[in-house]
């Protein structure tokens, strides 16, 4: 398994298990199946509302003794309703308690958008948001760094940050995030963002690498292009005797990104990990490069306000 390296030399497996949309009742067995198959990297978040079940599965696996806590990289994310600086540590501690852990490997600011503290669910009107003045992202970030210094997480980073937002954080003089987790697949290749992150030594994780077909209907656009049914991806899959999903995962790994395909199906969980053995050649990479169409599956619609408080969250 290819590993990517944090600035302090710690490693993270390039392929991890995604748990967004993994329902309670399914996510626990998915995590166990993944660890048994050889995954050593699980991607979680408080808003997935399944961390307690992930925690139960982790403790069952660790109790068996073959896989130890320190063998597994576990990421989680700070939800938007806990951006005020005094709310970060309690949110992280709640996630640790749900996961049954005493530290995380990586904690990310989930979105560059702040909600009113205590807001459950998604905002319905403007007062459900905090303005950037009320909840400066630089202060949220300082609280993330403080949580790391306290040992609650080994690494800290962000998610859904554009170049402009990363630049703004850099301008504040703060230490840069160690990771930026963003939507990334052949229809949204984000070359400029990748180059920026490479230059600043920020690792990148690709989410929704398979097109997240299982997300809620209200998040879907009309006539969405399918990644798994793309003809070019299908031809390359046939050439390698692989599945389209495996080609999408191998492509992400070949670009030096980390990738977190979600599955709750034990056979697909194993298949996705086996993508690690697929070597795409220059022709494959060129063909996939030509598929870029700046298409977002995750459009950030839930974060649009009447006054345009957060503008276009992706700055594009």
Candidate list 73, 211, 278, 313; residue touching ligand A2P; CB under 6 A: 211
Task: Give the DSSP H or E segment for 253.
Answer: helix 244-254
Candidate list 102, 126, 201, 214; residue touching ligand A2P; CB under 6 A: 214
Distance CA 29, CA 25 (A): 8
Residue 163 burial by Cβ neighbours in a 10 Å radius (0-12, 13-18, 19+):
middle
Beta bridge partners of 181: 159, 205
Active site residues: 48
Closer residue to ligand A2P, CB minimum distance, 229 or 316: 229
Q: How far is the CB of 229 from ligand A2P (least distance, A)?
A: 10
DSSP 18: E
Q: How far is the CB of 167 from ligand A2P (least distance, A)?
A: 28
| Interaction residues for ligand A2P, span 3-32 (CB under 6 A) | 18
- Using alpha carbons only, give the angle 315, 154, 174 rounded to the nearest 5 degrees: 45
Closer residue to ligand A2P, CB minimum distance, 166 or 252: 252
Candidate list 37, 52, 146, 213; residue touching ligand A2P; CB under 6 A: 213
Candidate list 243, 250, 273, 278; residue touching ligand A2P; CB under 6 A: 243
Residue 302 has which token pair?
């839930």
Residue 206 has which token pair?
């690709």
Binding mask 148-187 for ligand A2P (x = CB under 6 A): ----------------------------------------
Q: Over the range 258-295, which residues count as b (16 or more CB within 10 Å of their CB) and which as e?
A: bbbbbbbeeebbbbbbbbbebebeeebeebbeebeeeb
| Interaction residues for ligand A2P, span 252-281 (CB under 6 A) | 261-265, 268, 271-272
Closer residue to ligand A2P, CB minimum distance, 55 or 261: 261
Candidate list 245, 252, 291, 313; residue touching ligand A2P; CB under 6 A: 245
Task: Give the DSSP H or E segment for 55.
Answer: helix 51-64
Closer residue to ligand A2P, CB minimum distance, 18 or 28: 18
Q: Binding of ligand A2P at residue 209 (CB under 6 A)?
A: yes
Which residue, 295, 291, 316, is CA-closest to 186? Answer: 291
Q: How far is the CB of 309 from ligand A2P (least distance, A)?
A: 28
Q: How far is the CB of 270 from ligand A2P (least distance, A)?
A: 9
Q: How far is the CB of 218 from ligand A2P (least distance, A)?
A: 16
Distance CA 148, CA 226 (A): 39
**Cβ proximity of 47 and 74 under 8 Å:** no
Residues forming contacts to ligand A2P in the complex (CB under 6 A) are 18, 208-214, 228, 243, 245, 261-265, 268, 271-272
């Amino acid at each position: 398994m290819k590993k990517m390296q944090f600035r302090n030399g710690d490693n993270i497996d390039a392929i991890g298990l995604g748990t967004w949309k993994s329902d309670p009742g399914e996510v626990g067995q998915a995590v166990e199946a993944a660890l048994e198959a050889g995954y050593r990297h699980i991607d979680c978040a408080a808003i997935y509302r399944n961390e307690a079940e992930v925690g139960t599965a982790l403790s069952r696996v660790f109790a068996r003794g073959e896989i130890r806590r320190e063998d597994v990289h576990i990421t989680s994310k700070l939800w938007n309703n806990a951006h005020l600086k005094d709310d970060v540590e309690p949110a992280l501690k709640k996630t640790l308690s749900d996961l049954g852990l005493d530290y995380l490997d990586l904690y990310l600011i989930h979105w560059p958008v702040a909600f009113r503290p205590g807001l459950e669910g998604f905002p319905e009107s403007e007062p459900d948001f905090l303005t950037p003045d009320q909840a400066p992202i630089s202060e949220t970030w300082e609280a993330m760094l403080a949580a790391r210094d306290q040992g609650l997480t080994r690494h800290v980073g962000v998610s859904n940050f554009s170049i402009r937002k990363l630049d703004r954080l850099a301008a504040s003089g703060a230490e840069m995030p160690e990771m930026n987790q963003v939507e990334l697949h052949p229809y949204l290749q984000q070359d400029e963002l990748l180059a920026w992150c490479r230059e600043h030594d920020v690792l990148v994780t690709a989410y929704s690498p398979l097109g997240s077909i299982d997300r809620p209907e209200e998040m879907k656009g009309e006539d969405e292009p399918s990644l798994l049914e793309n003809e070019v991806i299908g031809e390359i899959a046939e050439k390698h005797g692989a599945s389209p999903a495996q080609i999408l995962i191998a492509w992400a790994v070949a670009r030096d990104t980390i990738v977190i395909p979600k599955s709750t199906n034990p056979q697909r969980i194993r298949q996705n990990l086996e993508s690690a053995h697929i070597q795409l050649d220059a022709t494959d990479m060129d063909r996939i490069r030509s598929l870029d169409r700046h298409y977002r599956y995750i459009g950030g619609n839930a974060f649009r306000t009447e006054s345009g408080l957060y503008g276009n969250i992706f700055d594009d």
